[in-house]
Amino acid sequence: MAELVQQYLDQIRDEHAGVTDGAVASYIPELANVDPMGFGLSLSSSDGFVYESGDAATEFTIQSISKPFTYALALDQAGHDAVDAKIGVEPSGEAFNEISVDDTTKTPKNPMINAGAIAAVSLVPGATPDDRFGCIHEFYSACAGRRLDIDHAVYASEKATGSRNRAIAYMLQSFGVLGDEPDDVLDVYFRQCSIKVTSTDLARMAATLARGGINPATGRRVTDAKVVQRALSVMVTCGMYDAAGDWVSAVGLPAKSGVGGGIIAVLPGQLGIGVYSPLLDAKGNSVRGVRVCRSLSEKLGLHFLTVTRESCSAIRARYDVCDGVRVYELHGDLLFAGAEQVLRTIERDRDDYRIAILEVSRVDDINDAAREMLAGMRTVLNTAGKEGFLVDPDNKVVRPASEQDYDAVLFSTLDDAAEAARRRLDRHG
Ligand code: GLU
């Protein structure tokens, strides 16, 4: 069956292989020494299965795709408040290397432009530049699931020519944004940009974000879901240089591109994509990379704002086991919207039953909001002179610690609950 997906990828890659528009980046001289026709595409499923097409094993420098990862690491290590005090989350609409800060806060507008990325490096803990880089290197490697190397020639080339970034770092220092020497921070930034990845590494790193911080291939948690949520948010709003709006409309995947020719794109909860093609458009995005992502999104229906179905079809069945006892069987993932609909339905039917039995054993996943709402249902029913029973053998709604609060209304099977409901009705006439 895997051949079907493979064919899709090969076909999409073939469609764009003839495109030769754009130019390789040359402002870092060493970046110009790449094969302009290199073209790799990789896709990782959320359980870590990787499909590859074309030059998926070719290494290139990660460049700005490093930014969301260092930002995530800074959030993870320094905490959200410390990071928010130094880096904003507003799209700037400016070029990636703009020498700018926010007019009011005097901090970088977001972590996806160089100013914000350099500030993020300085927030990663480390007594020396080597320590700090070690932490970053380890984090990227954990996301990719293998030890990544550095392209020393690209590092030296950027370090020798990086006046623009030097200007940015010194400006940040003057505004009190950098907690360290600008040149030390820059050295780490140049090193992080020179880490070598393949499109498959990018797909795996993307899948790690798609899984909320767990690398699906290694099973290792590299950061927590809140950090990933923030990193993906800035990828949506500021990930594609100053073409972010276009990208969200046409492709609709949190993404980040780099001048090395890579693009990483994430479909939360589902998959990660990595593309490599070093010919860049005027904004600095890989020409074929953007086209491939556009096609993938269209053909495979990956836009993250696609409304495919109502997300609240949580009630699977609704029936009476006897006069006065109605059963509601729930299934699927139960989040706020689904729980709201369940409660509203139970409320609307109130005149039709004396006891409502909520059967949740087929619910796959439930979040805290939904759990609280379902747990609160009984109080609401009691106030209306009704009773609510719960069939929850796996403690999805009722946590084991609070089981005693549900004494007499919590059951392991629907039969037990129905029997108890009948007895209770008999007793109370
Ligand atoms: N190292 C590059 C720079 O700071 C990264 C640029 C990019 O990929 O956008 O100029």
**Of ligand 1's atoms, which has the minimum distance to the CA of residue 97?**
10
Reply yes or no on whether the pLDDT at 4 is more than 90.
no
Q: Could you tell me the pLDDT band of residue 175, with boundaries at 50, 70 and 90? A: very high
Mind giving me the DSSP string for 66-122?
A: HHHHHHHHHHHHH-HHHHHTT-------S-TT-----TTT-S-S-TTSHHHHHHHHH
DSSP string, 353-412: -SEEEEEEEEEEEE-HHHHHHHHHHHHHHHHTT-EEEEE-TT-SSS-GGGGGGGTTTEES
pLDDT single digits (tens) 245-265: 889 999 999 999 999 999 999
Residue 160 binned pLDDT confidence (cut-offs 50, 70, 90): very high
> Is 189 among the residues known to form the active site?
yes
For ligand 1, atom 2, the nearest C-alpha belongs to 63
Mean pLDDT of 177-183: 94
From the candidate CATH numbers 3.30.750.24, 3.30.1130.10, 3.30.1370.160, 3.20.20.70, the one assigned to the domain spanning 315-421 = 3.30.750.24
Q: Residue 3: its pLDDT value, please? A: 74
51 in active site:
no
Quote the CATH superfamily of domain 2-300. Answer: DD-peptidase/beta-lactamase superfamily (3.40.710.10)
pLDDT score, position 180? 92
| Domains 2-300 and 315-421 fall in the same CATH topology | no
Strands 325-334 and 255-257: unpaired
Q: Distance between CA atoms of 147 and 187, rounded to whole angstroms?
A: 20
Q: How far is the CA of 318 from the centre of ligand 1 (A)?
A: 57
Using one digit for the tens of pLDDT, what is the confidence trace for 206-250? 999 999 999 999 999 999 999 999 999 999 999 887 778 889 999
Q: What pLDDT is stored for residue 380 in this prediction? A: 85
Q: Closest Cα partner for 71 from 110, 27, 105? A: 110
Report the candidate in 340, 350, 292, 291 with the shortest Cα–Cα distance to residue 315.
340
d(CA 85, CA 125): 16
What's the pLDDT score for residue 125?
Answer: 96
Which one is catalytic: 241, 276, 328, 353? 241
Domain boundaries, the chain: 2-300, 315-421
Q: Looking at the DSSP assignment, which residues form a beta bridge with residue 50?
A: 44
CB contact at 8 A, 325 and 355? yes
Residues with CB under 6 A from ligand 1: 63-64, 96-97, 114, 158, 165, 193, 258-259, 284
